[in-house]
Amino acid sequence: MGLSGEKPPMVARLPGTPYMEFQKKYDNKLHIRRYFDMKKLISVLLIILLILSISSAMAFAAKKRQIAGPKKTQSYEISEPEQTPVSQEETKQPSQTAISSNNTGFGTWLWNPWLIVSSKDDILNYLRINGYSELYLQIDSTLDLRYYRDFVSSAASYGINVYALSGDSVWIWQDKRGGFYNFIRWVENYNLSVSESEKFCGIHLDVEPYQNAEWNTARDNVILNYQNFVDEAVLQAARLNLPVVFDIPFWFDEIYYSNNYGSGNLAPWVISKTSWTNIMAYRDSSQEIIAIAENEAGYAKNFGKRLVISVETQPSSEGENVTFFEEGLATMYSELSNVKAYFDSKGYTNIGFAVHHLASIMKM
C-alpha cells in the first residue's frame, strides 16, 4: 500500500505492449507520488514544530516579564578600572534601578575595593538613594590609602558608616592567623593616620569555620579553635577601640559545644561575645526568614545586642528558596518589610537588615 493509502490497480497485458515495460512505467509513477507525499508529510511536521517553538518562546517571555517585575527607570553603571587587580570577584556592573528611598537602614558588602577608585560616586549615590546606611568594605593593602580616605569621608557625609571587612576560614587556626593580624595592623595604622571623618567605624569579619575540611571529621576541635579566634578578634578590636561584627549562618543554633568554654549552643555564645552579629538568613520569603532568625533575635535581645538579618541576591545552586535573585529587589524589600513588621510587633528594637552583596544588587 502506498503513502496515499491506495492500492495499485490490477495491470492487464495490453495487446502489443510488453508487460514488463508497462510495470516499469507504473513503478516510476508510484515512486514519484511517494516522493511528493513524503515532502508533504515533512512540510506538515516542520510547520507543527515551528508553531510549538513559537508558543514555547512566547510562554517563556511572559514568565520572564512576570519575574522581572516593573520596568526600570533610573540606572547607575559601574565600570572596572583597566588593568587593576581584583581581590575576590569579578565586579563589572551593568545598569541598575534605584529602589524606593523609603527602604532605610540597610547594610551591604563591597568585596572589590578597587571599585571605589573607578566608581566612587556611582556607588555612593546608589547607596544613598536606596537607603543603605552601612557598607562593609573589603580591605586590600595594595590599594593606595588615599582612595579609602576619600571614599570613607564621602560616605560619612551621606550618613553611611563604613566597616573594614575581611575574613578567611583558616584564621581559626592559631598557626594560620598571619592574615588576620596583618588586617588588624592595617586598620590600626590607617585609623591612626587619618582624620576622624575618614576612619573606619568598626571591623566586620566573615570567618566561616565550616569551610574547613575538618568540620566533617573533627568538628569539636574546629568549634574550639573558632571560639578561640572569636575571643582573639574581640580582644584585638577592643585594643583598637572599635566594635567587631561576625557573620554567622542561621543554623549555628543547632550546633553545640562542650570544651574549655563550657557547654552550650554556639549561636548565643557568638552573639554574647561580639559587638553585634549578622545572621545569614538566606531565604526568599518573610515566613522562612522569620522562622530561621527568631531564635537568634531572642538571644541578641536577651544580651542587649543588635542582630542584623541578611539575605542573598546572587544566584545560588543550593536551592530556589535561598536567594532573591529570581524574585527581584522589589519583592525582596517587600518581604523584609514584613519581617521588620513581625519583629516590631513582638517588641524587638534591636533588629537591622543587610543585603549580600553590592555587586549583585546592582546587577538586578
248: confidence class by pLDDT, cuts 50, 70, 90 = very high
Backbone φ and ψ of 92, nearest 5° = -65, 125
Residue 41's beta-bridge partner residues? none
Bridge-based pairing of strands 256-259 and 306-312 is unpaired
d(CA 118, CA 78): 8
Q: Are 123 and 115 in contact (CB under 8 A)?
A: yes
90: confidence class by pLDDT, cuts 50, 70, 90 = very low
- Give the helix, strand, coil percentages of the chain, each rounded to 5: 50, 15, 35
48: confidence class by pLDDT, cuts 50, 70, 90 = low
Higher pLDDT, 346 or 94: 346
Bridge-based pairing of strands 76-78 and 93-96 is antiparallel
49: confidence class by pLDDT, cuts 50, 70, 90 = low
In percent, how much of the chain has pLDDT > 70?
71
Poorest-confidence range of 59-63, 64-68, 103-107, 175-179?
64-68
Number of other CB atoms surrounding residue 288 within 10 Å: 17
Which of 208, 197, 195, 203 minimizes the C-alpha distance to 238? Answer: 203
Higher pLDDT, 82 or 16: 16
36's grid cell: 511528493
- The label of the residue with cell 593593602 reads 141
State how far Cα 315 lies from the chain centre. Answer: 5
Q: Are 322 and 283 in contact (CB under 8 A)?
A: yes
State how far Cα 330 lies from the chain centre. Answer: 15
The residue extents of the domains of the chain are 1-69, 95-361
The b/e string for 330-345 (b: 16+ C-beta within 10 A; e otherwise) is bebbebbeebbebbee
Per-residue pLDDT for 180 more than 70?
yes
* 3-state DSSP assignment of residue 321: coil
User: pTM for the whole thing?
Assistant: 0.74
User: The domain 95-361: what is its CATH number?
Assistant: 3.20.20.60
Report the pLDDT value the prediction gives residue 25, as an integer from 0 to 100: 45
d(CA 31, CA 260): 91
Q: Are 279 and 248 in contact (CB under 8 A)?
A: yes
Report the pLDDT value the prediction gives residue 320, as an integer from 0 to 100: 87
Per-residue pLDDT for 70 more than 50?
no
Per-residue pLDDT for 334 more than 70?
yes
